[in-house]
């Protein structure tokens, strides 16, 4: 079978199954069975597929995923995340669009102690959106910042999707986690600047509301009692990795232990909260690991069939420059983000993209951060962005799909600008990992 037909069967078949609504994991398992029979040789191929699948999920580098998920689940179910919001709200003064600014700042802090974009968006949406709407905020002005900062969660460690990307692509997980910090903070600052400027130009979008000014210890009480201790978890995770003290897995374990210890110290970790956190962790982690089980074998079959080498050779025979090829890959990722979820994007593209990246000798951390930003864009792109659906699920009935789609547009534009900036100035993504590494 030619590489063109193999590509059509494997890549085309998996894409069709995803588009008709079959779950990601089942889509790739189904294609793997067909590929094993056709390319690996009947029963022997199926046996090899089973062995490869088992080996893929026994990879020690995947251990941080359930640990990062557990951190976010504990913070969510114990109510400590709400304390973070309250502490930040006391610190933010009366600025235009104050509540939207509080959502962005609180979301940034929560991103540093949680590994789940959905959890961040759902929590901020359910807690802050009703308050903003009751105070006269335009629905578009209210929902946009919450969804946008939820997507930034993917860039700032700990991030389960970043660990998954590093594991599937062979990029250093610790450096990739650290590489997302500066771009994530740039986006957060840009979001705050946009909100203040927009609300100042048109106060009707975010009417100012009187706030009770706290003074003395009362103003900083929650900061010292909750915000700083919880943010110290971020310092533990990143510091242990960047200092060479611990591997990403060991750093994730330290972060999970620190989260549990703080929850116990605050007397917030009840038996019910613990059980909910563990159940949530098992469900999310099992889903991710089952997807990895199919992904690794898919990549091997794609390579064995000759499709990978054929596609790579065809691209290089076009006479394109390395920058044009890189730009084409990023455009493909953004296009896929409109239709499929982030994990599907990785499974479809990484088996083809990584050989191209290796052949072009592109900096892996730079490429990894660009890839993360494209996935972050996919969370926000209408009509199927995961965070758009999450927001609709927690929003009051008066918030329509039109509000959600229009509210997120400025933040998509800022993310695209950041993508272009990092394309032109790679040091934004690579500086911190190289300094700390």
The single residue listed with the structure tokens 């650290």 is 178
Distances (CA, A) of 371 to 165, 197, 232, 346, 423: 9, 30, 28, 9, 11
Share of the chain above pLDDT 90, in %: 15
The single residue listed with the structure tokens 């557990």 is 70
The single residue listed with the structure tokens 């084409």 is 328
Verdict on whether the full-model pTM lies above 0.85: no
Nearest Cα to Cα of residue 187 among 221, 153, 214: 153
Among 8-12, 25-29, 49-53, 323-327, the range of highest mean pLDDT: 323-327
pLDDT of residue 185: 93
* Residue 21, helix vs strand vs coil: coil
- Is residue 70 classed exposed, middle or buried when 0-12, 13-18 and 19+ CB atoms within 10 A define those classes? buried
pLDDT of residue 370: 95
**Is residue 119 predicted with pLDDT exceeding 90?**
no
**Is residue 262 predicted with pLDDT exceeding 70?**
yes
- Is residue 363 classed exposed, middle or buried when 0-12, 13-18 and 19+ CB atoms within 10 A define those classes? middle
Query: CA–CA separation, 119 vs 159, rounded Å?
Result: 12
**Is residue 374 predicted with pLDDT exceeding 80?**
yes
Structural domain total, the chain:
1
Q: Specify the DSSP class assigned to residue 340.
A: S
Query: CA–CA separation, 188 vs 145, rounded Å?
Result: 10
Query: CA–CA separation, 154 vs 176, rounded Å?
Result: 11
Q: What is the pLDDT of residues 391-426, one digit of tens each?
A: 887 788 888 888 988 999 999 999 999 999 999 999
Share of the chain above pLDDT 70, in %: 89
pLDDT of residue 4: 74
Q: Between residues 208 and 1, which one has the greater pLDDT?
A: 208
CB 253 within 8 A of CB 71: no
Q: Specify the DSSP class assigned to residue 37.
A: I
Q: Can you give the residue range of the structural domain that contains 239?
A: 3-436
Q: What is the pLDDT of residues 270-294, one digit of tens each?
A: 899 889 888 888 887 777 777 667 6
Query: CA–CA separation, 245 vs 261, rounded Å?
Result: 20
């Amino acid at each position: 079978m030619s590489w063109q037909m193999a590509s059509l069967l494997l890549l085309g078949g998996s894409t069709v199954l995803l588009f008709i609504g079959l779950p990601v994991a089942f889509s790739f398992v189904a294609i793997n069975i067909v590929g094993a029979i056709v390319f690996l040789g009947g029963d022997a191929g199926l046996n090899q597929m089973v062995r490869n699948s088992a080996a893929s999920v026994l990879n020690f580098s995947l251990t941080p995923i359930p640990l990062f998920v557990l951190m976010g689940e504990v913070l969510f179910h114990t109510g400590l995340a709400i304390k973070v919001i309250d502490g930040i709200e006391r610190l933010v003064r009366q600025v235009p669009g104050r509540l939207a600014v509080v959502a962005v700042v609180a979301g940034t802090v929560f991103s540093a102690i949680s590994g789940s974009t959905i959890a961040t968006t759902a929590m901020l949406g359910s807690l802050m959106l009703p308050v903003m709407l009751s105070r006269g905020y335009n629905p578009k002005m209210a929902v946009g910042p919450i969804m946008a900062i939820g997507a930034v969660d993917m860039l700032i460690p700990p991030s389960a999707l970043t660990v998954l990307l590093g594991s599937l692509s062979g990029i250093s997980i610790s450096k990739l986690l650290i590489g997302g910090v500066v771009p994530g903070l740039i986006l957060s600052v840009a979001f705050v600047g946009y909100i203040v400027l927009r609300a100042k130009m048109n106060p009707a979008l975010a009417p100012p509301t009187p706030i009770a000014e706290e003074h003395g210890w009362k103003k900083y009480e929650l900061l010292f009692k909750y915000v700083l201790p919880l943010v110290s978890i971020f310092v533990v995770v990143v510091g242990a990795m960047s200092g060479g003290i611990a591997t990403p897995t060991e750093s994730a374990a330290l972060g999970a232990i620190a989260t549990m210890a703080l929850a116990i110290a605050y007397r917030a970790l009840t038996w019910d909260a613990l059980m909910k956190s563990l159940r949530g962790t098992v469900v999310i982690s099992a889903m991710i690991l089952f997807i990895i089980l199919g992904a690794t074998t898919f990549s091997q079959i794609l390579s064995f069939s000759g499709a990978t080498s054929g596609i790579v050779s065809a691209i290089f025979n076009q006479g394109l420059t390395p920058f044009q090829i890189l730009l084409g890959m990023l455009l493909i990722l953004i296009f896929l983000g409109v239709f499929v979820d982030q994990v599907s994007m990785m499974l479809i593209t990484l088996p083809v993209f990584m050989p191209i990246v290796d052949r072009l000798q592109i900096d892996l951390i730079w490429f990894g951060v660009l890839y993360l930003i494209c996935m972050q864009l996919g969370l926000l792109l209408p009509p199927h962005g995961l965070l758009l659906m999450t927001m609709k699920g927690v929003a009051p009935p008066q918030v329509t799909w039109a509000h959600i789609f229009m509210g997120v547009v400025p933040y998509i534009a800022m993310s695209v600008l950041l993508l272009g900036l990092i394309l032109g100035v790679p040091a934004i993504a690579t500086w911190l990992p190289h300094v700390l590494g």
